[in-house]
Amino acid sequence: MDGPSGGQRPSVLNAVIDRLEFSMVPVLVLLPLLLHLAALHVLLGVVVLSALPCLLLWYYYATHRRKKRTLFFLTLSLYSLAYMYYLFLTEILPRGDVGPQQVLVVTAGVVITVVSLVRTKRGPGFVVAGAIPAVPDKRSIEMDRGGPPEVRSTGEETQTLVVKGQGSRCAVCKVVRPPRAGHCRICGSCVQRLDHHCIWINSCVGKSNHRCFLFTLSVFLLTSVYGITMVLHSLCPRQHLLTALLYCPGVYNQYSTALCFTCAWYSSTVTLGLLHLLFFQVLNVSFNVTEREAQVALRYKTGRRHLFGLVVDTGEYYRGFFHNWLEFLTMTDSTASGLAPIRQANLV
């Protein structure tokens, strides 16, 4: 068989080049520059760290708004993780305040986070075509027409057909899907037990990867909090941990300590954002409701708010705290029950 001609690129190379987002280069260059700028003076630090989220969002909407799927946030997250780890090894470790055990814990946390992220990216559990007959159902039709953006079909009305009370057929994907599955307009596929499409991992969160998603979040947050604690303990040994971020005398006397202190603030901001996400994820699992189901229930006013409005209970799948978590931790793909098989997702 003839090989590819000199003017043709191999298919693997084509796929890699097609997925590269060269518009990320300015962000990856400016982020460390802005952090170094913030380390020059405390006032510059306040201004830069306050404006940084707005600048990132502005650049994202200016360059990536028209893209359904983008590696912007995933690349930014991994780059930030790698850069913070690099500064930890080059600036904090030489100070002698951190022992080999602490370095091992931080390193293990970073490695486990990345490995768990790769497992999460294997796929949320896409539903593929099956051969199960279906009959119309009004309730499912209304849910797909009025669902939130990540589960609503674009440009056309979606008719969903229920399969003998056990599944439904999506008119967009033309596949029979199990209960609680939903259509993601960003991925263009139906996902088993769809929770939401997460921009941070550039993938849906569904039945196959929801546990890995929560595990990745948890390990990252524990590693981040532990790393920030080690940095503040090294920079501000006389300050209490809870007040060190707000008041650390003499930290701006040396540029290296100021840079580490600035990065600790940056890491704390990211950590608080992801802690917010994990908090609501845990609440939803505790009430056995997905983010998609909660949004649909709010739209149609069919759910009840609990815990001062923090969580929405649809009342359909709630079995009690213990049984809700047991179901979440032991749930299996629909392939085990004879429904449609799972299509794996791309790792990027």
Which residue, 230, 8, 10, 193, is CA-closest to 109? 230
Residue 171's SS3 state is coil
Specify whether the backbone of 250 is left (phi greater than 0), alpha (psi in -120 to 50) or beta. left
Here the tokens at position 18 are 């097609």
Q: How far apart are CA 269 and CA 327, in angstroms?
A: 33
At 199, the amino acid letter reads: I
Here the tokens at position 261 are 């202190």
Around Cβ 46, how many Cβ atoms within 10 Å? 12
Specify the residue for token string 């809870």.
242
Q: How far apart are the first and last CA of the chain?
A: 31
Return the active site residues: 198
What values do phi and psi take at 129, rounded to 5? -60, 140
Which residue, 337, 328, 82, 338, is CA-closest to 205? 328
